[in-house]
Amino acid sequence: MNFLYLNSDKMGEGDAQLGRKLLLAFLEQLADSEVRVDVVGCVNSGIFLTTTADGPGLESLRKLEARGARITTCGTCLEHFQRQEMLQIGEVGNMADTVQMMAWAKRVIRPC
């Protein structure tokens, strides 16, 4: 199982605007590639990727979902950022799910 772990809405340190651009490009390339992703786990500011209506990363996540990926978003994070009602894709997950996915995964892809 391949687990895509998104713990931020940007890639790398430094300029936030550049980091968002890089992560969106990464997600687009991943979604258009032959790389298999079984589960996507969004935590911390990574939840903005699944909770922003017509957000820039949503199309890539929808492509991954259409290819069979399960999309999960941290419930504690949704509560913290008060975005429980804004989930656009996937399901609400929890830390037990994240631990289990990381432990079972053959590969954890962590671009953030």
Q: What is the three-state SS of 2-70?
A: EEEEECCCCCCCCCHHHHHHHHHHHHHHHHCCCCCCCEEEECHHHHHHHHCCCCCCHHHHHHHHHCCCE
Q: What is the pLDDT of residue 8?
A: 97
Q: So what's the pLDDT on residue 82? A: 98
Question: What string of pLDDT tens digits covers the 112 residues of the chain?
Answer: 999 999 999 999 999 999 999 999 999 999 999 999 999 999 999 999 999 998 889 999 999 999 999 999 999 999 999 999 999 999 999 999 999 999 999 999 999 8
| Per-residue pLDDT, 55 | 87
Domains and CATH numbers, the chain: 2-109 (3.40.1260.10)
The SS3 of residue 110 is: coil
Q: What is the pTM assigned to this prediction?
A: 0.94
